Structure 1
């Protein structure tokens, strides 16, 4: 049988785990000595100012002291990647000091960071509470002040949801801006490298600063936008050129409140905080108007067809022959009949991963593809069309579309069909509830957790930039306010989010 090491397993070499780490379980690997950035050549400019960085453990690192496990039993024997993720090299060149690899839901599949081979992540504010998922370990490391910045991955909200639950900043860039090379894939068309921090400025400096990541195309990643396309997109947007000394004015900006996000499952505490945030923006001169995104109600269902389908394909390689820890109890001739493949995957994968592989394999089958996968892709296109309809800015990757009123559902009011008013950003909660207790999460059916992604999935399906910032609530716990921008409007989104966060703190 496959071994089941815990966080203190001896194969984790040079590990420095404090009592707090064992309690919260947010690190899988924590080297005794952090991994410093490479020294700059003597002929180059001085070394950049160093900053501490935690890395989600589905992002490849080549250091022997930083194995890549994806929080999975199938990679649990000190797998050292032969390649380093592009984002790791980019951040190390900018001064990142890597302190460790953080815990997550196995292969990024989960909303509470409980489906890990190394046990669930928890936070201590309040105690024994969900840290969100799947980047829960990275969020806790930032929230506790252990690192200045953490990397996560956001497929359907896996950076923004933990940020909301832990009261920090969680940013998902536009799809194609940040290289995915070296990120262990869950769903290729959705996976995005994300950033977590207690402040927006460090993220803003990395994305749109003098050495902004928005400029860097990676030829190793086929989803990375080319330099020519990046320049064309940036030319249609504000904020990608130096604006030192300028302040962001909220006055005159228009924020849209999606009517379809006011769902029955929305916690009253979250609804009140959302309304208070909107009122605060109005008080400082911003306009807040209702908008309609009719396809939103189908977005979550479409996501949980598309993402598992892509996952079932991506995880097929872990068979104990090419990749993955082989089940040593399988008969020596098992490979011929497929027994080795089945027993290795059955032992190596956790229950949630197996659940999604089965779901994805079914939706890709010949008898189900037309009814599920193809229709989900149609919904995805409609979701993006809804966003394009309400944003004042055009999508730089698509031609402007004239919307036919007949295409919208009859229940949508005529004033909304006309457009209502085009907005700069959308404003909504990040999650429908406060962070639940881990005990409550464990007692529910696994599919109940899927509802937590209802507000984050639409932006992921459309590939749009989105950020979660803390907002005040009347009960114990943290909540996130999500701002969504048009494609490649990341620079302005970060500026405005910083200004909104400042207003909400006052």
Structure 2
């Protein structure tokens, strides 16, 4: 298919699938994109494309700044805001010839697991089984649905505690969260700085890899971006090829709440990996049970600090019914935030403010930081490669005080992305506040540790198909050590090949 026909098909699908609400700002039919696609087509015919992404339509989550389209974060607070610059990741895509396909819907400021908390209405997942509307996952649900319904070639999202991987599992797409610090966050509206990671949605691993290679560069604008010497050092530690791949199976992920279709898909995935020569090893990540609670202390605490700038004076939409001199009582500030933020954002700001208060900081915030350190240590204990940011680990094989060599640890972990099927919209609306957070239980640990992880769809066979929410697949998550992004993607390709997918 020509690039122009592919782009026109994406635009036609955006119109046809408008009821799914995947886009807040779709690409305009009358825009200059056709000429750019034709130029890319000409370069491809001459054998001189800018990159594999030249002329492709890539959607951008609406918390990533774009110069030519509004950036709203799905919030009333920013509904009229347009950035004067592109985020670094957007600029790198445009430099590679890609075209922004629109801004995708999301949970407001990234705070949610089902893309329900949007000022512009919820995202709806296309379902083939039954007539009930199904959750798309969150917070990058719009990006995942846009890819699943071919409204774009690929999409960028952000992953703070699973916001790329969970929607991928629910929509039958591939969702990749790189190692923290690999992709620039400059121009990404912050939710929780120590956790936020730009992620990628695609229909296969090959597409994900092309975008990852395009974006994986040092950015001096982002203080968390790994420096070139660090990137070179990480790339120099080649994985051993003299032995079979060692796959770790976290026993703590084998919970009672795991649905039969997910459990069957997990077993089938491990059996397929074993048939390719890999060896399977049970491992223990004992702090996993406390990871979710720690996340929901740390992320809201950082959000409370980050979102304080939206006060109607520095940033945010001011309440027009109040005069400029609203008085020393703070009515301008209070009314702006009270009417500008949705209920879930208000809830998390309050949670974060509480955990940062003087009386609660020791019991909540500092305790959660200790749990986060233990989560990181758990992963370091099971991986064959040591943590590259702990001096001596890679050279000596000493991790956390225990002697360990490459033959003792595992190369990647394989586990479900979500414990069960995608819930219906009605089920999500009936959930309590705490119940709505539990869906992140398998994705949060990798986020706390800054690890690379990819969710790959695995087909559910037989009687379980009607239980997985519509697409006949569940997400399998491959998690690797910091810097092992390529290893994670290679194993993802093996899993992808099990069902004849990929390129």
Q: Compared with structure 1, are the counterparts of its residues 492 and 438 closer, same or farther at alpha carbon in structure 2 (3 Å cutoff)?
A: same
The offset of 1:263, in angstroms, is: 1.4
| Corresponding position of 2:4 | none
| Corresponding position of 2:115 | 113
Q: Compared with structure 1, are the counterparts of its residues 503 and 268 closer, same or farther at alpha carbon in structure 2 (3 Å cutoff)?
A: same
Contact 2:380 2:399 in 1 (8 A): no
1:17-166 paired onto structure 2 within 5 Å: 20-33=16-29, 36=33, 47-48=50-51, 49-63=54-68, 66-77=69-80, 79-126=81-128, 127=131, 128-166=133-171
Contact 2:384 2:406 in 1 (8 A): no
User: Are 1:491 and 2:486 counterparts?
Assistant: yes
Cα distance in 1 for partners of 2:200, 2:160 equals 13
| Corresponding position of 1:237 | 238
Contact 1:21 1:27 in 2 (8 A): no
Q: What CA deviation, in whole Å up to 9, does each residue of 1:301-355 have, x standing for no partner?
A: 0000000000000000000111111111224431532111000100000000000
| Corresponding position of 2:373 | 381
The offset of 1:62, in angstroms, is: 0.7
User: Are 1:461 and 2:441 counterparts?
Assistant: no
| Corresponding position of 2:212 | 207
Cα distance in 1 for partners of 2:90, 2:15 equals 28
For residue 122 of structure 1, give the secondary structure of its aligned residue in structure 2.
coil
1:147-226 paired onto structure 2 within 5 Å: 147-208=152-213, 212-214=214-216, 216-226=217-227
The offset of 1:166, in angstroms, is: 0.3
Q: Judging by fraction of residues, say which structure has more helix.
A: 2
| Corresponding position of 2:477 | 482
Cα distance in 1 for partners of 2:94, 2:433 equals 37
Cα distance in 2 for partners of 1:202, 1:81 equals 28
**Count of aligned pairs:** 463
Contact 1:236 1:396 in 2 (8 A): no
Contact 2:93 2:215 in 1 (8 A): no
The offset of 1:21, in angstroms, is: 3.8
Cα distance in 2 for partners of 1:31, 1:261 equals 41
Contact 1:16 1:30 in 2 (8 A): no
Contact 1:390 1:420 in 2 (8 A): no
Cα distance in 2 for partners of 1:328, 1:141 equals 35
The offset of 1:168, in angstroms, is: 0.7
| Corresponding position of 2:317 | 325
Cα distance in 2 for partners of 1:17, 1:340 equals 43
The offset of 1:95, in angstroms, is: 1.7
User: Are 1:260 and 2:271 counterparts?
Assistant: no
The counterpart of 2:426, out of the listed 439, 443, 447, is: 439
Cα distance in 2 for partners of 1:121, 1:31 equals 17
For residue 198 of structure 2, give the secondary structure of its aligned residue in structure 1.
strand
| Corresponding position of 2:6 | none
Cα distance in 1 for partners of 2:17, 2:101 equals 13
Cα distance in 1 for partners of 2:327, 2:375 equals 44
The offset of 1:23, in angstroms, is: 1.2
Q: What CA deviation, in whole Å up to 9, does each residue of 1:192-239 have, x standing for no partner?
A: 00000001112212334xxx433x210000000111111111111359
Cα distance in 2 for partners of 1:482, 1:147 equals 24
For residue 144 of structure 2, give the secondary structure of its aligned residue in structure 1.
helix
The offset of 1:252, in angstroms, is: 1.6
Q: Compared with structure 1, are the counterparts of its residues 334 and 237 closer, same or farther at alpha carbon in structure 2 (3 Å cutoff)?
A: farther
The offset of 1:18, in angstroms, is: 5.6
Under a length normalisation based on structure 1, what TM-score does the superposition of the two structures give? 0.87
For residue 130 of structure 1, give the secondary structure of its aligned residue in structure 2.
coil
User: Are 1:503 and 2:493 counterparts?
Assistant: no
For residue 376 of structure 2, give the secondary structure of its aligned residue in structure 1.
helix
Contact 2:89 2:215 in 1 (8 A): no
The counterpart of 1:304, out of the listed 287, 296, 312, is: 296
Cα distance in 1 for partners of 2:100, 2:400 equals 48
Cα distance in 1 for partners of 2:252, 2:14 equals 45
After superposing the two structures, state which structure 1 stretch, 318-327 or 261-270, moved more: 261-270
For residue 336 of structure 1, give the secondary structure of its aligned residue in structure 2.
coil
Could you list the runs of 5+ residues in structure 1 that have no partner in the other structure?
Answer: 1-14, 240-248, 406-416
Cα distance in 2 for partners of 1:354, 1:27 equals 24
User: Are 1:427 and 2:414 counterparts?
Assistant: yes
Could you list the runs of 5+ residues in structure 2 that have no partner in the other structure?
Answer: 1-10
After superposing the two structures, state which structure 1 stretch, 266-275 or 222-231, moved more: 266-275
Under a length normalisation based on structure 2, what TM-score does the superposition of the two structures give? 0.87
The offset of 1:472, in angstroms, is: 1.7
| Corresponding position of 1:8 | none
| Corresponding position of 1:7 | none
Q: What CA deviation, in whole Å up to 9, does each residue of 1:374-426 have, x standing for no partner?
A: 01111111111110110001121113244468xxxxxxxxxxx9999410100
